[in-house]
Amino acid sequence: CLEAVISGGDFMSETLKEKRDNALKEHGSKTEVRVGYGLTEATAATCLTPTGRYKNGSIGIPFPDTFYKIVAVGTHDELKAYEDGEICICGPTVMQGYMNNESETLQALRVHEDGKTWLHTGDIGYMDEDGYVYYRQRLKRMIVSNGYNLYPTHMENVINSHPDVLTSTVIGIPHPQKIQVAKAFIVLNDGVEPSKETMKKIKQHCEINLAKYSLPAEYEFRDSFPKTLVGKVAYTKLEKEEAEKLKGKE
């Protein structure tokens, strides 16, 4: 009886989508999980996967009368297809501004050379030649390591595809030479022991599926992750924990 199943509010890995789609199919449903994207500043959803036209990793195409473009971070310069940059949105659902906060409004809403007001979302992504949008992650979460941009969401997607892994979170931790390196926190599936052998298999999986420069420098097993009030992983709490550890060593 399901007509639509929509995922939004946080990143959905390819592995999780595939599991949910298979479960729906096994129970006789003709629907699939449709991935979307939105934010409060644009009155929730602004982009959604068309029925039966999903592209791996995509968050879909913009709604009618809503326009997307990808710009180089810190500029108004539109990028070419497949180039990573900041996601910007223009349309009738975009907010008028933050109440009683002119400075934040000026940062988020900017008039571009085309005369339109664009919402700078603070999210990193790209667009393909067909107009499908792909979300990478929050700009604030990007890890800059030894001159390379590392995307925790992509790394988590790879780690989560390992059969022993339930979920993972990747953060940046300080490094004396590289400025930052990646650290992966991993929650294992029920019945899987957090052993050296399990860790070795997960590391090998990452070495096969991630570029050498983007491999996590550290891995740690956890029973669970701290969560925000809306149920998202509170990665900032993990960052604070690592900062406290560093202070303790000093």
Residues 20, 30: Cα–Cα separation, whole Å: 12
User: Under 8 Å CB-to-CB from 174, ≥6 apart: which residues?
Assistant: 180, 243, 246
pLDDT for the residue 140 = 83
**Distance between CA 244 and CA 230 in Å, rounded?**
25
- Residue range 61-89, pLDDT digits in tens: 999 999 999 999 989 999 999 999 999 99
| pLDDT value of position 13 | 78
**φ, ψ of residue 177 in degrees (nearest 5):** -105, -40
> pTM of the full predicted structure?
0.76
pLDDT of residue 242: 86
Task: Please report the pLDDT score of residue 141 as a whole number.
Answer: 85
With a cut of 50, which residues of the chain have pLDDT below it? none
According to the model, what pLDDT value does residue 250 have? 62
pLDDT for res 176: 86
- Report the distance separating Cα 222 and Cα 151, nearest Å: 21
